[in-house]
Amino acid sequence: MDKSHRYQNVLNTSYAVLQDYPMDIIGRMSIITSILKTEFSEWIFCGFYRVVKPNLLEIGPYQGNLIACGHITFGRGVLWCSRN
């Protein structure tokens, strides 16, 4: 299945799951990361970072095979590389 079909599956599943369940934004983020990680099991990380201060991101809901960085300041990035 090509990537566009996989993303369409994510959209369809997300809509089906989220439309009938009222929940806050953190709950929605959790569901979406779970759906994405299930569809793209080859990904090592899928998650959200939230702005908690003007120049600071804090980890939000995520799924992954590693421990995420807890905080990232604006202007700095995080990159994981694999050489296979």
Whether 84 shows a pLDDT value over 60: the answer reads: no
Specify the pTM. Answer: 0.81
**Domain containing residue 36:** 3-73
Q: Dump the DSSP string for 25-64.
A: HHHHHHHHHHHHHHHTTT-SEEEEEEEEETTEEEEEEEEE
79 within some domain: no
Amino acid 81: pLDDT: 46
36 within some domain: yes
18 within some domain: yes
Specify the CATH number for the domain of residue 45.
Answer: 3.30.450.40
Tens of pLDDT along 11-61?
A: 999 999 999 888 999 999 999 999 999 999 999 999 999 999 998 999 999
Tens of pLDDT along 65-77?
A: 988 889 998 888 7
59 within some domain: yes
Amino acid 78: pLDDT: 67
Amino acid 69: pLDDT: 87
46 within some domain: yes
**Domain total in the chain:** 1
